[in-house]
Amino acid sequence: MRNLLLQLDSSRHPSVFDQVVAYDGGADEIMSYGGVTPEDVRDLVHGCMFTRGAKDLKHTAIWIGGNNMSQGEQLLAMAVDAMFAPLTVSVMLDSNGSNTTAVAAVVKIEQAVGNVAGKKAVVLAGTGPVGQRAAGLLAMGGAKVTITSRKPEQGEKARQFINARFNAQVESTTLASPEHQAQVLDGAEILLNSGPAGVQMVSKAAWNAVKTLKVAVDLNAVPPLGLEGIEVDDAGVARDGVIAYGAFGVGNFKTKLHKRCIARLFERNDLVLDAESIADIAREMHKK
Ligand SMILES: NC(=O)c1ccc[n+]([C@@H]2O[C@H](COP(=O)([O-])OP(=O)(O)OC[C@H]3O[C@@H](n4cnc5c(N)ncnc54)[C@H](OP(=O)(O)O)[C@@H]3O)[C@@H](O)[C@H]2O)c1
């Protein structure tokens, strides 16, 4: 039986990136919908549930993506709400690659420092989809997490959102100019840049000055890179005594993880893959 993936994307054009990876991950056919709103979800999901018998439902799955993380979360909630046992299909949320990217970064950090519990982690520009997910996962692991934002109100909003979503105690701080970097980074053992493409967030001198720093991860692949002195292909190399990962160093694992998650969706009909369950899959992959 063919593996069918229903792609529900909150953006006008369903993501081509997500489609390509889905084919590579094991989907035989993708039914793509763009501009999907929460009101649309129930009927689209029912189309998956009532068409194949319960024992064959593992060959149908739902993918939720799009640029907007909070819309993606609403679509996921509606999809889960529309289904009832035994007529369920597996579903995954990865708006803008946020879950798979954040999980890949966090798993690399865990590989570098072991247990993150009690360690100070700074997530630069942690108000975006990737940073929020990463901050939440690090906090779940017991790290003392601070996210930064250029704007106090934006940081506070993201802080509240992360803490509610992950039942965590993340802090936020304003980082609007380089002179505050030393204070924000003081005592950090983990540094993760989740700032936008093409923006240098911290100079080499600034992160070199943090003598407690053990691992630094930069998710920005577009020059200028986010953490000066960390190269895009760095994948666990030591740079001035700090274990460094660049965007491709993380991204290669992210792509493998993304494909593995797609394959998992077609193994059973009751999975709900969000940050935590995707992290479980990533940690399993790392053990092998
Ligand atoms: N390697 C991979 O596989 C992979 C996959 C997906 C994404 N990524 C990368 O991961 C990073 C995070 O993605 P995202 O979608 O979460 O990011 P995003 O939403 O584009 O940006 C994150 C935050 O950056 C801040 N920001 C925006 N413009 C800025 C500027 N000019 N200077 C300083 N801060 C600025 C904003 O926070 P405030 O307004 O609160 O300051 C924003 O919330 C990006 O670099 C993206 O390219 C990598």
Residues 104 and 140 both lie in one domain? yes
Please state the atom number of ligand 1 nearest to the C-alpha of residue 201: 33
Residues 129 and 243 both lie in one domain? yes
Protein residue closest via CA to atom 48 of ligand 1: 219
Count up the domains in the chain and report the number. Answer: 2
Distance 262 CA to ligand 1 centre (A): 25
Q: Please tell me the predicted confidence (pLDDT) of residue 26.
A: 97
Pocket of ligand 1 (CB under 6 A): 96-97, 101, 125, 127-131, 149-151, 154, 194-197, 199, 219-221, 247, 250-251, 254
Please state the atom number of ligand 1 nearest to the C-alpha of residue 127: 43
pTM of the model as a whole: 0.97
DSSP code string of 120-167: EEEEETTTSHHHHHHHHHHHHTT-EEEEEESSHHHHHHHHHHHHHHHT
Residues 214 and 273 both lie in one domain? no
CA dist., res. 61 & res. 213, Å (int): 42
Distance 19 CA to ligand 1 centre (A): 22
User: Tokens for 209?
Assistant: 């000055």
Residues 208 and 140 both lie in one domain? yes
Residue 228's domain spans which residues?
A: 100-250
CA dist., res. 98 & res. 255, Å (int): 12
Residues 115 and 242 both lie in one domain? yes
Q: Please tell me the predicted confidence (pLDDT) of residue 54.
A: 87
Q: Please tell me the predicted confidence (pLDDT) of residue 287.
A: 79
Residues 220 and 153 both lie in one domain? yes
Residues 12 and 82 both lie in one domain? yes
Residues 37 and 81 both lie in one domain? yes
Report the CATH number that the domain containing residue 17 is assigned in CATH: 3.40.50.10280
Residues 244 and 264 both lie in one domain? no
Sheet of strand 4-9: strand arrangement: 29-33, 4-9, 60-65, 90-93, 272-273
Cβ neighbours, 10 Å, residue 279: 22
Please state the atom number of ligand 1 nearest to the C-alpha of residue 255: 3
Residues 124 and 225 both lie in one domain? yes
How many helices (H) and strands (E) the chain has is answered by: 10, 12
Report the CATH number that the domain containing residue 164 is assigned in CATH: 3.40.50.720
Residue 61, by phi and psi: left (phi above 0), alpha (psi -120 to 50) or beta? beta
Residues 112 and 203 both lie in one domain? yes
Residue of 18, 21, 95, 101 to mutate, ligand 1, most atoms within 8 A of C-beta: 101
Residues 37 and 118 both lie in one domain? no
Q: Please tell me the predicted confidence (pLDDT) of residue 53.
A: 87
Mean pLDDT by 10 residues, the chain (288 residues): 98 97 98 98 96 93 95 97 96 97 98 97 97 98 98 97 97 94 97 98 96 98 98 97 98 98 98 98 89
